[in-house]
Structure 1
C-alpha cells in the first residue's frame, strides 16, 4: 500500500503481499514525476528512510535545477556502480597499463564490483562505504590493499558525485583504512656476502644491483651496460615488468623519466665480469631468458634455491637486499633526502616511514650537538 507524502513529492511503497510490509525483507519502490513532468518509478530501497530520502532529493532538485539537468542527473544516479565504472575507467587516460592502472583494475574487479557492482549510485551513502570496508576487513584483505581499494572507490564515487549522480558526498566522513607499515627485515653484511657466493651468476648480479645501488627487483632484472653513464653513476630508466615480462617505465615515474644512483666500484666490476663471460644482448642487457628478458619467474626459482642452500634470518626476503642499501647509506650518514631520490620513492615521507628505525640515535645526537653549541655561546 502506498503512503502519500507532501504534495508533489511522490509516494513510496512495497509491491509484495506481505501482511506486515514494514517487517518483510522486500525492498521499497518510489513513484514520482521528474523535472519534465513524466512519471517515474525506482526500486531497491532497503528502508522507508532510504525511500523518503530519495524522494526528498528528487523534490529538492526539481525546485533548484533546470528540468533537463535534473533529469540527466537522475538518469546518472540510476546507473549501477558496475555500469558507471566501465565509462569512468575509459576516461582515466593517464593510467597506464603498468603500475597504477593495473592496481586500480585489480581493486575494481576483485573487490568493488563483487561487493558494490549491482548498487545504484544514488543509493550509496557513507554508511554503505563503511560496511564495504568492514567486509574487506572481515575477508582478510590486508590493510595496505584496503587503502588502495578505498582510494580507487573514492575516486570513482567522487567523480559520480561531481556529475550530480548523488545529492550528498558518498564518502564524506569516511576514514581511510589505517596502514601501519611493518618493520622491514634487513640482512646483515655477512649474509649479503654469503648470498652473493651461494647464488648462481644471474641472481648474484641482481643481488649486487639491489644491495649496491638500491634498485627494485624489476629494475635490477633490467641491468644494462648502457646505463653506466660514469664510472660511479648508474642511470635507472626502466624495469622488467613482473606481469608483461617486458621493459616498462619506472614506478612513480612517467615514460622517459629516470633517476641516477651511485655505482659502487664493486658493483661495476661485477657487471664487467658478467659481461666478459656472458656478453650482452644487442640492446645492452646483461641478464636474459628464453623470451629475451630475465623475468620474475626466473628470479623466483633462483631465490628459492638460494634460500634453501643459504637460509636467511627470519623475515628477510629478496627485497631485503634493497633494504640493505638503505641501511648501509643511512648508517654512513648519507642524507635521507639523497637516499629517497636514489631509491625512487614517491616522497621522502615514504623513506622516513620505512627506515626511521635505522636512525635511533639521531635525536640524542642532535641534543648533544645543540647543547655543546649553546654552552660555547655562553
Structure 2
C-alpha cells in the first residue's frame, strides 16, 4: 500500500488496494486519509471519491487542529494519559530516553523493577499528588531500602512525573512540598591517615595502586580500574578519560560525561610514583596498567577489588570501622582537599560531580572555618 504525504503535520492520503499510485485516478476504490488530531491520536477516514476530496479533508482537519484552543488540546492529553497506568506511561517515557547509556538504562530498569513498579506500577497517572509521592518514600523507608537507592528511585520518579506535569496531567506539581531522601554526610566514613597507610600495606600491589589512585586523585572504583600511564598529561595532572563499566565489563565513557569527554585531576607526586613503579614492575597493555588476572585481553574488573576488600576485612587485622568501604578512599581525597582550603568548586569538578549540590551535601561538614573565623579574616582585609 503506497501513501502520499502532504506538508509536515497534515497527514497522508492513500488507497488500500493492489493498484499502484499511478492507477489511483482510474481505479474504482475509495481514497482514505490518515492524520493526527489535536490530542496526538491517529485518525483514519475513508470514502473519498477522488484525490481532491481526500486533500480537502486533510486540510480542514489540519486547520481545525491548529485552531483548537489550548484547553482542548490539554483535555485531550488528559483523556489519553490520565487513565493510563504508571507502568504503561513509564514504558512510553523510557522509549524517549535515547541519551541514556547502556549502564544507565540497566540502572533505571533495576530501580523500576525493584522499587518503583511494585509500589506504583498499577496506579492511574491522574491520581498522583504530593501525598502519593511522600507515601512512596515512606514505604521505602519502612522496607529498609538504603538511602542511596531511595534517592535514586525518587529522582527517577521525579523525572517521570515532571514529564507528565509538562503534558498538563496535573494542576499542581505532584512533587511540591515533598521532602526528598537526603544523603546524610555523617554516613560517609573517611579513613584516617593512619588507616590509609595500613590499607596500603595490607593488600597486593594492585590493591595498593588502587588505594593510591582513589585517595590521591579522587577516582571512582571503575576509573581506577582503567588507569592508563598515557593519561599522565603533566607531572602533576592525570587525565581521567574512561572507566570500566560494571554492567558491560568493558571500557566506557565517564559517569555524567559524553563519549570523548574527560576531566583533569591533580596528580600528587606520591600517586605518580605509584603509577610509574607499577608500570615498571608489571608492564602495560596499550598503556593500561591493570588487566584481568585470568585473561590479559580483558579489562580489570572492579569486583576483584571488592573481593580483596572483603578478604582483608575478614582477617580482622585492620582497623576498618563499620561503614568504611572501598569508596571511602575517594571520600579521603575530598576530605584532604577541603582541609587544605582548596575551594569546593574545584573539588566538585575533580570528582566529576555533575552538580555542586552533591559535593555540598556530602562534604560541607568537612570544610574548615566557621563564622567566627570568617569574621577575623574579613577584619584583616578591612584593616589593610
Per the alignment, residue 195 of structure 1 pairs with 199
Deviation at 1:69, TM superposition (A): 7.2
Distance (Å, rounded) in 2 between the aligned partners of 1:356 and 1:126: 29
Distance (Å, rounded) in 1 between the aligned partners of 2:158 and 2:98: 18
Distance (Å, rounded) in 2 between the aligned partners of 1:274 and 1:172: 51
Per the alignment, residue 49 of structure 2 pairs with none
- On the 8 A contact 2:130/2:178 being kept in 1, the answer is no
Distance (Å, rounded) in 2 between the aligned partners of 1:225 and 1:263: 12
How many residue pairs match? The answer is: 312
Please, which of 171, 178, 181 is the counterpart of residue 184 of structure 2?
Answer: 181
Deviations 1:63-86 (A, max 9, x none): 9954x8745642332321111111
Q: SS where residue 98 of structure 1 aligns?
A: helix
Deviation at 1:131, TM superposition (A): 2.9
Structure 1 residues 160 and 366: CA distance shift in structure 2, 3 A: closer
- On the 8 A contact 1:211/1:325 being kept in 2, the answer is yes
Please, which of 249, 273, 279 is the counterpart of residue 245 of structure 1?
Answer: 249
Per the alignment, residue 240 of structure 2 pairs with 236
Q: Is residue 300 from structure 1 mapped to residue 303 from structure 2 by the alignment?
A: no
Distance (Å, rounded) in 2 between the aligned partners of 1:146 and 1:272: 41
Deviation at 1:170, TM superposition (A): 6.1
Distance (Å, rounded) in 1 between the aligned partners of 2:195 and 2:353: 25
Distance (Å, rounded) in 1 between the aligned partners of 2:328 and 2:377: 33
Deviations 1:216-274 (A, max 9, x none): 11111111111111222110011112222211221222221111111122222211221
Per the alignment, residue 89 of structure 1 pairs with 94
Deviations 1:53-104 (A, max 9, x none): xxxxxxxxxx9954x87456423323211111111101111222224x3433
Per the alignment, residue 109 of structure 2 pairs with 105
Per the alignment, residue 36 of structure 1 pairs with none
Unaligned runs of 5+ in 2: 1-68
Per the alignment, residue 13 of structure 1 pairs with none
Please, which of 209, 222, 226 is the counterpart of residue 213 of structure 2?
Answer: 209
Distance (Å, rounded) in 1 between the aligned partners of 2:320 and 2:77: 61
- On the 8 A contact 2:198/2:318 being kept in 1, the answer is no
Deviation at 1:362, TM superposition (A): 4.4
Q: SS where residue 233 of structure 2 aligns?
A: strand
Residues 255-270 of structure 1 mapped to structure 2, 5 A cutoff: 255-270=259-274
Per the alignment, residue 56 of structure 1 pairs with none
Q: SS where residue 234 of structure 1 aligns?
A: strand
Per the alignment, residue 158 of structure 1 pairs with 162
Distance (Å, rounded) in 2 between the aligned partners of 1:182 and 1:201: 31
- On the 8 A contact 1:234/1:262 being kept in 2, the answer is yes
Please, which of 306, 313, 318 is the counterpart of residue 311 of structure 1?
Answer: 318
Distance (Å, rounded) in 2 between the aligned partners of 1:157 and 1:358: 35
Structure 1 residues 266 and 144: CA distance shift in structure 2, 3 A: closer
Q: Is residue 363 from structure 1 mapped to residue 371 from structure 2 by the alignment?
A: yes
RMSD: 2.7
Distance (Å, rounded) in 2 between the aligned partners of 1:277 and 1:119: 59
Deviation at 1:161, TM superposition (A): 3.8
- On the 8 A contact 1:213/1:262 being kept in 2, the answer is yes
Distance (Å, rounded) in 2 between the aligned partners of 1:332 and 1:105: 41
Structure 1 residues 127 and 220: CA distance shift in structure 2, 3 A: same
- On the 8 A contact 2:235/2:267 being kept in 1, the answer is yes
Distance (Å, rounded) in 1 between the aligned partners of 2:235 and 2:98: 39
Unaligned runs of 5+ in 1: 1-62
Structure 1 residues 64 and 214: CA distance shift in structure 2, 3 A: closer
Deviation at 1:152, TM superposition (A): 1.6
Distance (Å, rounded) in 2 between the aligned partners of 1:198 and 1:172: 48
Q: SS where residue 102 of structure 2 aligns?
A: coil
